[in-house]
Chains A and B, each alone.
Chain A
């Protein structure tokens, strides 16, 4: 019995040592998910608003930012677009401002209610900066 106990405690210690060496957590407790931090929606929005708010943003950065943003599987929030439109103003680029609105409408795809909402939210900015929407200019038709 004494031997039995001794052996048992030895195997237990061995198991613990094995686990420690492999660095694996107990298989019952965890799954193999990534430990990367997931960015929240607010953080994402804030990051992009900051990107476009850079006072001395240059044309390339605006284009790069916009093209990247359009590449994501989402329609940007009005505040991001507001920041982008103001960046266009700083760059004296009305054409890009109109293009951004078109791109965002196209990005909404079949969800036809997103674009009117965005225009509604951006209305003060559009009026302030004097940006016409593609609809005003008749550019949405062929």
Chain B
């Protein structure tokens, strides 16, 4: 007796889980997480429970209508049987399911944030690099000056560096200029 009254309090869903009367001590409390849950998943099209558990009066009447011929239900009523009660008028689908397959499979717009974040951080890094060039690094060695470079190139030509196919091969020694 006690068990059945407790059962009616907890709701129809709970019957299968964790209600037991042991040694006359009473009924075990049923925690929410222990009950079958609703979730929208592609691989589990029919979840264990309906999405909407407490039906409003309209929804209840709709559920009654569902027992009759389905052809007499209007389209809105059919959708109502399917959808959340928060949105539009009650719909049969919304009683049983939260999101349609189209809705649950919908991608997010997260990729835009990801790309934006990437650009932002690359930009920040660029600024840091510029600052470093100006304030952190000392002057470049004298070997980078154009005067030095000219002497370097002349020395390489004098030494006939890579005379066959490489460096000196491109220098015209007669006319003292680079080959065209």
B102 at the interface (CB under 8 A from A): yes
How many A-B contacts if CB must be within 8 Å? 92
Please measure, in the bound complex, the distance between the C-alpha atom of A66 and the C-alpha atom of B44, giving whole angstroms. Answer: 8
Is the Cβ of A63 less than 8 Å from the Cβ of B101?
no
- Known contacts A99-B45, A132-B78; is A106 also within 8 Å of B93 by CB? no
Residue of A66, A89, A102, A132 touching B100 (CB-CB under 8 A): A102
B46 at the interface (CB under 8 A from A): yes
Residue of B73, B101, B102 touching A94 (CB-CB under 8 A): B73
Identify the stretch in A3-11, A39-47, A133-141 within 8 Å (CB) of chain B at 4 or more residues: A133-141
Residue of A96, A106, A132, A134 touching B105 (CB-CB under 8 A): A106
Interface size on B, residues (CB 8 A): 30
Is the Cβ of A62 less than 8 Å from the Cβ of B93?
no
- Known contacts A67-B45, A70-B43, A142-B106; is A94 also within 8 Å of B100 by CB? no
A19 at the interface (CB under 8 A from B): no
A77 at the interface (CB under 8 A from B): no
Is the Cβ of B102 less than 8 Å from the Cβ of A95?
no
Residue of B46, B93, B97, B101 touching A67 (CB-CB under 8 A): B46
CB distance from A118 to the nearest CB of B (A): 15
Is the Cβ of B96 less than 8 Å from the Cβ of A93?
yes
Scan residues 124-152 of chain B and give those whose CB is less than 8 A from a CB of chain A. none
B172 at the interface (CB under 8 A from A): no
A119 at the interface (CB under 8 A from B): no
Is the Cβ of B45 less than 8 Å from the Cβ of A103?
yes
Identify the stretch in B19-27, B63-71, B154-162, B163-171 within 8 Å (CB) of chain A at 4 or more residues: B63-71
Scan residues 82-101 of chain A and give those whose CB is less than 8 A from a CB of chain B. 89, 92-96, 98-100
Set of chain A residues within 8 Å of B103, measured between Cβ atoms: 142
CB distance from A2 to the nearest CB of B (A): 75
Interface size on A, residues (CB 8 A): 31
Is the Cβ of B97 less than 8 Å from the Cβ of A103?
no
Please measure, in the bound complex, the distance between the C-alpha atom of A26 and the C-alpha atom of B105, giving whole angstroms. Answer: 54
Set of chain B residues within 8 Å of A66, measured between Cβ atoms: 45-46
Set of chain A residues within 8 Å of B69, measured between Cβ atoms: 130
Please measure, in the bound complex, the distance between the C-alpha atom of A121 and the C-alpha atom of B74, giving whole angstroms. Answer: 24
Is the Cβ of A136 less than 8 Å from the Cβ of B75?
yes
Is the Cβ of A139 less than 8 Å from the Cβ of B100?
yes
> 21 A-B contacts, Cβ less than 8 Å apart?
A62-B46, A63-B46, A67-B43, A70-B44, A89-B70, A92-B66, A92-B67, A94-B66, A95-B96, A98-B82, A99-B45, A100-B46, A102-B101, A102-B102, A106-B105, A130-B69, A130-B71, A134-B102, A139-B79, A140-B100, A142-B102
Q: In the complex, given contacts A63-B47, A95-B95, A136-B75, what are 8 additional A-B residue pairs having Cβ atoms less than 8 angstroms apart?
A: A70-B43, A71-B43, A99-B82, A102-B101, A103-B42, A103-B45, A137-B82, A139-B100
Question: B residues bordering A, Cβ < 8 Å?
Answer: 42-48, 66-67, 69-73, 75, 78-79, 81-82, 92-93, 95-97, 100-103, 105-106
